[in-house]
Amino acid sequence: GVIAAGAEAELVGLARRLGAPVITTVMGRGAITERDPLWHGVLPNGRATDAVIRAADVILAVGCRFAHRSTQGLLLNLSFSAAQTLIHLDLDPTVLGRLFKPQLGIVGDARDGLTRVLQSLGPGHPRDSWDHRWRAE
């Protein structure tokens, strides 16, 4: 995942570049400080994360196994709509598509993958027209 790969700076950089919310798993907690305005909770805390996930048109899952239960034994009740695009980046190819079929599955290191995504976006600022209703949730 992000922490194991030492990709915290790349995750934060991509989130800032896009102005996108970040949700972590229990194992990924700390990948972005919980004081950051882009941090929006920990799965499987549905009260904190459901609105953000429902509002997303693209979901980038990095180093996330999407296990039915988190390491805290809490049930993960997660689903994506047909209108959403799931991009799943993981070092382990057997994880991709295990529970959720991604539209784009990428086998690779989190740090390298996030760096490449950020480089492909190039310099710029978050879109002003971005839908930020998730911040009010």
Percent of the chain with pLDDT over 70: 81
What's the confidence (pLDDT) of residue 87? 95
**C-alpha angle 23/29/30, rounded to 5°?**
110
**pLDDT grade, residue 22 (50/70/90)?**
very high
What pLDDT, in 10s, does the model give residues 69-117? Answer: 554 554 455 778 889 999 999 999 999 998 889 999 999 999 999 999 9
- Give the amino acid at 91: L
State the Cα–Cα distance between residues 80 and 12, nearest whole angstrom. Answer: 24
What's the confidence (pLDDT) of residue 108? 96
Are 58 and 38 in contact by the 8 Å Cβ rule? The answer is no
Per the model's pLDDT, the better-predicted residue between 45 and 13 turns out to be: 13
What pLDDT, in 10s, does the model give residues 58-70? Answer: 999 999 887 655 5
State the Cα–Cα distance between residues 41 and 35, nearest whole angstrom. Answer: 11
Are 109 and 5 in contact by the 8 Å Cβ rule? The answer is yes
Are 101 and 107 in contact by the 8 Å Cβ rule? The answer is no
Of 100, 70, 74, give the one whose Cα is nearest residue 87: 100
State the Cα–Cα distance between residues 128 and 17, nearest whole angstrom. Answer: 12
Structure tokens at 61: 């899952």
- List the domains of the chain with CATH numbers: 2-122 (3.40.50.1220)
Residue 77 sits at φ, ψ, to 5 deg, of -110, 90
Q: What is the pTM of this model?
A: 0.82
**C-alpha angle 135/79/94, rounded to 5°?**
115
